[in-house]
Structure 1
Amino acid sequence: MRRRRRIGRWVNGLCAAGATLVLGDLAAFGGGPLPPLGSAFNPGTGVWTAAKDAELPRDTSLRVPGLQQPVQVKFDANGTAYIDAKTDHDLFLALGYLHAKNRLFQMDLMRRQGEGRLAEIVGAKALPSDELELQLGLLRTAQQEWNQMGPGSPARQALLAYTDGVNACIGEEKRNGTLPMMFKLLGYEPKPWTPVDTLVIQGDMTQTLDFTTTPLDYALLVQSLGYDRTMAWFPVQPPNAQNPYDPGPYRKDPPAPMEQPVPAVLPATMQGTSFKAASRQIGPSQGRWAPPAADTAAVLDVLERLRNLPPAAIHRGSNSNNWAVDGTKTASGKPMLAGDPHLNQTLPAIWYQVAARSPSYDFSGVSIPGTPVVLIGKNQHIAWSLTNVQNQATFFYQEKTDPSRPNQYFWNGAWRDMQALEYDIPVKGGKPEHLTVPLTVHGPVLTTKGQTLSVEWIGALPSPDMEVLLGILRAQNFTEFRDALKDWHAPSQNFVYADDQGNIGLISAGYYPIIPKGDPWLPLPGTGESDIAGTIPFDDIPQVYNPPTHVVFSANQREVGPGYPYYIGTTLDFFDAGYRASRIADTLAKGNRMTMKDFEALQNDTHDVLAMRIVPKLLAALTGQKLSAEEQGAQRLLAAWDGNMAVDSAAASVWWTFWNHYLSDTFQPWWDAAHVPVDQDPDLAVGPELTSLNQDLEAWTLNDPDNPAFTAPGRAHRTAQDVMRQAFSEAVADLSKQLGGEPASWTWGKLHARQFPSLAQIPELGYGPRPSGGDRWTVDAASGGLVSTAGPSWRFIVDWGTGVEGVYPGGQSENPASPWYDNEIPLWWDGRYLPVWHVADAGPGIQATWRLSP
């Protein structure tokens, strides 16, 4: 019955979509007119065929071209696949086949986004995104990564086998008329898969995790607030209490060399794309060397253009938790590990759960459809999980140009010729759009408005990440794990580790660029003196192994203390405020004889550390004040509150609303007086999303209540207590107007919800919004505003003494008619978990077996 209702909602949703389709979080563009929907409802090849294709697997034998030997694939009741292959080649081929069987449209969207090919299927509205992605160069980087793989490298062999598996499925679906419905609605068929497509999807994730606009934000802040105030309020080092997992001592060595950037001259035809791409000398330059006052025009032009990218394509904020403890702190006497990466939550989900076994591999965990590896998981001897390091990886350069020297820029004492790449972008319903991408030594030129501004992004450098991940899958101990990570470049990640021999560790692997001169958090001069000089040597990056605390943890906080001798980023965007890290560190430090239930409780914890630091100060400021009846009720709620952002907590609503007013009452007068261009750069709006301001206000409230910032420009002197009282009164009035009733009825769930939108942005195919606990600072994080669309995307716990479990908010299938479309959301929502098995352990709950043969 439930499945019939879902099919009905799906059909109704397709009808309600009318003549347009929005491609959601991965694309986010109006699709223009769809083809006639009559074909979508054809009884032979339309929605009904897709519904039939959504039937759960049954025992069957299938022929899959390209296999070397027979492969067995088992499915459990929740859709997890268990691949048992006799050769490594067949493992990766079977994984490619399964990914395409379950997530082909999602895979095609992701490769199209990174390769700048969305306009080909949705029309000219996607051109701004396509142009920017081609400028940034994910496709160029993927092509170079593929060309650099030796014929015998494990990564090359895995990619070739995986590609064969995807194409075997595409061919099968075309022959049977069972391509996913979105292909039929958009009126196209997927092109054959290539290894470059997989590497582009890898680049998509890199871009999501470390391409930022922060130097542009700083430039606007300096123009409006001035340099001194900007750096006082958005400092390099955080002003509040922090919990670095690597407290030192630290060492400093000369910079290590970095991989060279993609060369300017590229072949005329690039594998894996339908574009024509060629290199030539760029025509007359429109840029000019301008005084600093003209920088704003260039900055705003780039920011406006970058807003045309899908929301997830630019990294904002922080995400993810992971930790491990050794056997001295567990009931089993063995190490335990936990991880929950916080990403955009959509249907279908970003993850596909799988276990696989072959002569060289035996692993289980979660993979990203389109790639042949699990990113988070375990093998027979080690387990690992990831969080984002948050170090600065994007740098903007002000190139020196001159109208009298067209097609040139000044660098390292001489005028140099710019290079340019030419692309023809296919556009649905129109002529191909021609794009010229100018290149300097730093990277692509993004604007010549006001001045020539280029970007150097570490994610655009070729990186052997696929080889590294395969090395991790094969690693048997910490030495092999660490050796593999020496070649990891981008995105920088905190790799937590625990093994079956009792060891734990954490390595923040990746490139940390070193800028020899200038402020790297601002656009830098492009004349050579501020070029990247190398990267922090691997032995000097943050890392620990079997620390005396018996605990390792990361939650996107600054991994090192103020004594670390290298610059790695500032408080604005690059690192979390530290509240999740503090909660994790305190809980693990106090923990004793911990079990998986303790780790479950911590992953689902909604305790707001910042609230518990500030609320006592607020209550003290309210003491002796004349309060209204409603204000007294709100005061009593806070006095009795335990700090949990629970869905049924009214105190949580009072706290959150108060904090937003406190931020606004403190900083907005300064923003207004300085004319900070929030209308042109919404990322600069005063609010909890500006990490630095939360840290400032916390530090001043606790330690400097007479800070000059509390006295608004042109107004009478104020202290923290004065502003808190004002913010509290405003918060109570705000909640009374919005929710009505008594303060005890102002529960957090009336303000706050979680939602998992569908990639097709058809509401009937999403989940929620549903009232929810948590906030952006709780371990069970809920990011994205009062209707959160980002948070824990995979909860994973390993106890080397008792077992493994995990859950993610979604299902294995992208087909809304499938019982495996959203079946794990209720488990995830309630804080429940499922066993995570290896292939050899997968007997319980097996529902069907596929026997694949060549």
Structure 2
Amino acid sequence: MKKRSPAWKGVNLLAAAVVTAALVYAGAKGAGPLPPIGPGFNPGTGVWQMASDAQRPTTQTLHIDGLQQPVQVIFESNGVAHIEAKNDHDLYLAMGYLHAHFRLDQMDLMRRQGEGLLSQVVGKKALSSDEFELQLGLERTAEQEWQQMKPNDPARAALLAYSAGVNDCIAQDEKSGNLPALFKLLGYQPKTWTPVDSLVIQGDMTQSLDFSTSPLDYALLVKSLGYRQTMQFFPVLPADAQHPYDPGPYTSDGAAPMESLQTVSDAELQSVLSLQQRLRSLPADAIHQGSNSNNWAVDGTKTASGKPLMAGDPHLQQTLPAIWYQVAGDTPDTHFSGVSIPGVPIILIGHNQHISWSETNVQNQATLFYQEKTDKAHPNQYFWNGAWRPMKSVQYDIPVKGCPSVPLTVQLTVHGPIMTQEGQTLAVDWMGALPSPDLDVLLNVVHASNFAQFKSALKNWHAPSQNFVYADDKGNIGLISAGYYPIVKQGDPWLPLPGTGQSDVIGTIAYKDVPQSYDPSSHIVFSANQREVGPSYPYYIGTTMDFFDNGYRADEIYKVLSQGSNLTVQDMEHLQNSTTDYLATEIVPKLLSSLQGAKLTLPEQAAETALSKWNDQMDVNSTAASIWWTFWTQYLQDTFGPWWKADKVPVASDPSLAIGPNQAALDEDLEAWTLHDPTNSTFTAPGGAKRTAPVVMQQAFSEAVQQLSTKLGTNVANWQWGSLHDRAFEAVSQIPSLAYGPRPSGGDNWTVDAADSSDGFLSTAGPSWRFIMDWGDGEALGIYPGGQSENPMSPWYENFIQPWWNGQYAPMLSAQVAAGAPGHVTWTLQ
């Protein structure tokens, strides 16, 4: 992606030329997922019409079908919307209308991805995604959720009203010939929006945050490294010291013992490799990778105001348009302010008049794979609990643009859909496939006024498992890791399990036993994807490879909050934007010690001096940051690389097994061994001379300096972190001219201001929304890197990025204050 100025604004003439050029290119040759396009360029109804809705809205009255009473929508000058309605029905209808007006392209792509209908509009290149989603069954789950809602269910009423609002907007756009650009570029009309579509989008997010392939990865590791070595490198419990937010003591009804599966057969290997090959062709967000998010709260004993401070910043893919749409809603019965996902009629993170909340991902292995027993003598059957059982099947006909439709048969066992029958039949049992009343839970959270009500609401939350942080106006704080935690009868859940019945899920961890904390004596609660409980927790919740962070963000948050006093909003802002690398604070002194007395070249001497003076911050202009990151990456490679090579770990077949800083378990191992076990046998390569941590560190340091000298020259002053490390916000359309960046950036995978990436150098994920709640004055702040509109010609397309980049925040105003703010406009809906 070509670098461009971060000051680019879609509203000026230069931007218009850039957008026009991008669309012309797409129309001629196709770009990203877009095929060559012609009809979209009709001057009356084509993409030129995109400019007609590119200006800021003006104060006006709009006629919307289905409203029971008039609604006011107040837009702040930056695009943040405030809905004032007389009843909840009209609130959710107006929310659907706003989402569709500003984000219909995004919404339609998300529902199509989840419903396996991308091929219908972009052609056969999306067929693998459609087939996978239909196998996984997001739409089947959404249909069950909708059918299970009772007629008087508030979630059902919200979905119906919301859908009506979306369809009102679609009807108006079709009548005026002003559908968003994507429909014109791809030459199709959006179908009517339904409640099931919203539930599918809810499922899209669950899949992105909750569906993993760890058992497949473990199978490949066990086949190459062997069981013992695999579990040494990727243990269940971390090798390093963690800071759990719920340290116990724990109560338990007793967890079932595990039995180790020592080997992986050739047939199992074939099935795993076959499935992994399919999964690599899916969109990046189809499989959960890495860890997500920070949140914390401190009570009034540690704040200047004497009331709680709460903060949260979920780390997701950073795209344009962004995943979030900021909105506030007010009726006589409902009050909320926060961020919503276009397609879903409620906020996920934010506050009401009395409580605030935010979320991070939880360590919970919610994806299990089962080896079903099948044979040719029993076609379309599987052996379970002592008998052959017929597989259920679901038939699909996938429409493909420009090609004949593709038939698909999805077979289901008691465990779930069959994902492959190459070598061995593998089915997946994923907690996200269970019908979950998540929308009902969120509506109850929005209406909660105390922790008891908040906790009661979350009891029904199933997936994705989330750490819900809490603070309220009465001075209380808390954290609950809500979700379905499966309990397996026996066996190693981190490997594919036998599907004959002895290793089935027999229940979930009782709600009273899931990790949680309320008004702790430490006066703080915090989660940053670290293991949320201590080693004595009696239940299995995952391994160091599954939904688990190495704990360095949590370590830094714990250090700052536990030592802090008289904390203010500014302290929360500083922590959310912190680029301190906690691991560097521990390892760099050991590295410098290992270099004492060594014969160093001039560049190595300069690098050693830079590290000795470093403040451990991954700032964009820091040379020591580049040295540190390059060293740690090489230190990992020099320690584990010989073992990977000797045992032929199949990185080519499964790139997620590659050695690197994003391999949390290996980071934890190497940290623990360097600090406490420098003679660990892993430092000695297979068949090689004995080595220790200091010896390998010296080697890695020398190699890191050589790499930087080759890449950036021998002058250490030029080794700035920003010369290696960028952030980029990709366009959902995959048209590069509509993206932002790459731009030199501070931070790394482990800083609180996370710059998540697979290679450590180009970050496309990170804080997608920074939120701070100060219950001292009841005021909230928030910012996300993007804008409210998906139209690249709009001044609200990327107007939040620069303040977000600068660590700035916008006050989350009340409707009354917004109505008096400069530059606001008002829509009257009737």
Letter in 2 for 1:108: D
Counterparts of residues 37-116 of structure 1 (less than 5 Å)? 39-116=39-116
Asked if the contact 2:74/2:826 (under 8 Å) is kept, the reply is yes
Q: Is 1:238 matched up with 2:214?
A: no
Asked if the contact 2:367/2:430 (under 8 Å) is kept, the reply is yes
Counterparts of residues 658-673 of structure 1 (less than 5 Å)? 658-673=631-646
Letter in 2 for 1:8: A
Residue in 1 aligned with 2:186?
186
Q: Using the alignment, how far apart are the partners of 1:55 and 1:106 within structure 2?
A: 19
Asked if the contact 1:62/1:850 (under 8 Å) is kept, the reply is no
Asked if the contact 1:121/1:428 (under 8 Å) is kept, the reply is yes
Q: Using the alignment, how far apart are the partners of 2:724 and 2:678 within structure 1?
A: 30
Q: Using the alignment, how far apart are the partners of 2:140 and 2:251 within structure 1?
A: 36
Residue in 1 aligned with 2:409?
436
Q: Using the alignment, how far apart are the partners of 1:678 and 1:78 within structure 2?
A: 46
Q: Using the alignment, how far apart are the partners of 1:849 and 1:747 within structure 2?
A: 45
Residue 344 of structure 1 deviates from its aligned partner by 0.2
Letter in 2 for 1:86: K
Which has the larger displacement, 194-203 or 740-749? Answer: 740-749
Residue in 1 aligned with 2:118?
118
Letter in 2 for 1:5: L
Letter in 2 for 1:374: I
Q: Is 1:576 matched up with 2:576?
A: no
Q: Deviations over 1:270-321 (max 9, x none)?
A: xxxxxxxxxxxxxxxxxxxx98232100000111111122111100110100
Q: Using the alignment, how far apart are the partners of 1:836 and 1:374 within structure 2?
A: 14
When residues 667 and 300 of structure 1 are mapped into structure 2, their CA distance, relative to the original with a 3 A threshold, is same
Asked if the contact 2:254/2:538 (under 8 Å) is kept, the reply is no
Counterparts of residues 97-496 of structure 1 (less than 5 Å)? 97-253=97-253, 292-496=265-469
Residue in 1 aligned with 2:681?
708
Q: Using the alignment, how far apart are the partners of 1:377 and 1:166 within structure 2?
A: 23
Q: Using the alignment, how far apart are the partners of 1:642 and 1:528 within structure 2?
A: 55
Q: Using the alignment, how far apart are the partners of 2:108 and 2:826 within structure 1?
A: 25
Q: Is 1:790 matched up with 2:792?
A: no
Residue in 1 aligned with 2:25?
16
Asked if the contact 1:297/1:449 (under 8 Å) is kept, the reply is yes
When residues 309 and 97 of structure 1 are mapped into structure 2, their CA distance, relative to the original with a 3 A threshold, is same
Q: Using the alignment, how far apart are the partners of 1:545 and 1:20 within structure 2?
A: 57
Aligned match for 1:35, one of 34, 37, 44? 37
Asked if the contact 1:362/1:838 (under 8 Å) is kept, the reply is no
Q: Deviations over 1:408-438 (max 9, x none)?
A: 1110111111111100011100111000001
Residue in 1 aligned with 2:586?
613
Aligned match for 1:562, one of 496, 514, 535? 535
Q: Deviations over 1:319-344 (max 9, x none)?
A: 10000001111111111100000000
Residue 649 of structure 1 deviates from its aligned partner by 0.3
Q: Is 1:518 matched up with 2:518?
A: no
SS in 2 for 1:678: coil
Q: Deviations over 1:112-168 (max 9, x none)?
A: 000000000011111111000000000000000000000010000000000000000
Q: Using the alignment, how far apart are the partners of 2:589 and 2:50 within structure 1?
A: 57
Asked if the contact 1:688/1:694 (under 8 Å) is kept, the reply is yes
Counterparts of residues 519-598 of structure 1 (less than 5 Å)? 519-598=492-571
Asked if the contact 1:75/1:846 (under 8 Å) is kept, the reply is no
Residue in 2 aligned with 1:681?
654
Q: Using the alignment, how far apart are the partners of 1:749 and 1:839 within structure 2?
A: 41
Letter in 1 for 2:119: A
Q: Using the alignment, how far apart are the partners of 1:506 and 1:309 within structure 2?
A: 34
Asked if the contact 2:47/2:185 (under 8 Å) is kept, the reply is no
Asked if the contact 2:26/2:36 (under 8 Å) is kept, the reply is no
Letter in 2 for 1:34: P
Q: Using the alignment, how far apart are the partners of 2:645 and 2:397 within structure 1?
A: 44
Note the residue ranges of structure 1 that are not aligned, 5 or more in a row: 24-29, 257-289
Q: Using the alignment, how far apart are the partners of 1:297 and 1:76 within structure 2?
A: 56
Note the residue ranges of structure 2 that are not aligned, 5 or more in a row: 1-8, 257-262
Aligned match for 2:475, one of 475, 478, 502? 502
Q: Deviations over 1:58-108 (max 9, x none)?
A: 110000001011000000011000000001100000000000000000000
Asked if the contact 2:30/2:37 (under 8 Å) is kept, the reply is no
SS in 2 for 1:426: strand
Q: Using the alignment, how far apart are the partners of 1:312 and 1:371 within structure 2?
A: 18
Residue 18 of structure 1 deviates from its aligned partner by 4.9
Q: Using the alignment, how far apart are the partners of 1:326 and 1:843 within structure 2?
A: 32
Q: Is 1:738 matched up with 2:738?
A: no
Which has the larger displacement, 825-834 or 799-808? Answer: 799-808
Q: Using the alignment, how far apart are the partners of 2:354 and 2:264 within structure 1?
A: 59
Q: Using the alignment, how far apart are the partners of 1:487 and 1:846 within structure 2?
A: 43
Residue in 2 aligned with 1:799?
774
- Normalising by structure 1, report the TM-score: 0.94
Residue 22 of structure 1 deviates from its aligned partner by 4.9
Which has the larger displacement, 756-765 or 491-500? Answer: 756-765
Q: Using the alignment, how far apart are the partners of 1:642 and 1:162 within structure 2?
A: 50
Residue in 1 aligned with 2:749?
776
RMSD: 1.3
Q: Deviations over 1:464-521 (max 9, x none)?
A: 0000000001001111100000000000000000000000000000000001200000
Number of positions where the alignment pairs a residue of Structure 1 with one of Structure 2: 812
Asked if the contact 2:223/2:264 (under 8 Å) is kept, the reply is no
When residues 556 and 22 of structure 1 are mapped into structure 2, their CA distance, relative to the original with a 3 A threshold, is farther
Asked if the contact 1:319/1:341 (under 8 Å) is kept, the reply is yes
Q: Using the alignment, how far apart are the partners of 1:408 and 1:46 within structure 2?
A: 52
Residue 847 of structure 1 deviates from its aligned partner by 3.2
When residues 300 and 725 of structure 1 are mapped into structure 2, their CA distance, relative to the original with a 3 A threshold, is same
Residue 390 of structure 1 deviates from its aligned partner by 2.8
Asked if the contact 2:19/2:737 (under 8 Å) is kept, the reply is yes
SS in 2 for 1:316: coil
Q: Using the alignment, how far apart are the partners of 1:506 and 1:451 within structure 2?
A: 42
Q: Using the alignment, how far apart are the partners of 2:254 and 2:590 within structure 1?
A: 46
Asked if the contact 1:83/1:91 (under 8 Å) is kept, the reply is yes
Q: Using the alignment, how far apart are the partners of 1:744 and 1:778 within structure 2?
A: 23
- Provide the identity percentage: 63
Residue in 1 aligned with 2:4?
none
Residue 3 of structure 1 deviates from its aligned partner by 2.3
Residue 401 of structure 1 deviates from its aligned partner by 1.0
Residue 573 of structure 1 deviates from its aligned partner by 3.2
Residue 20 of structure 1 deviates from its aligned partner by 4.5
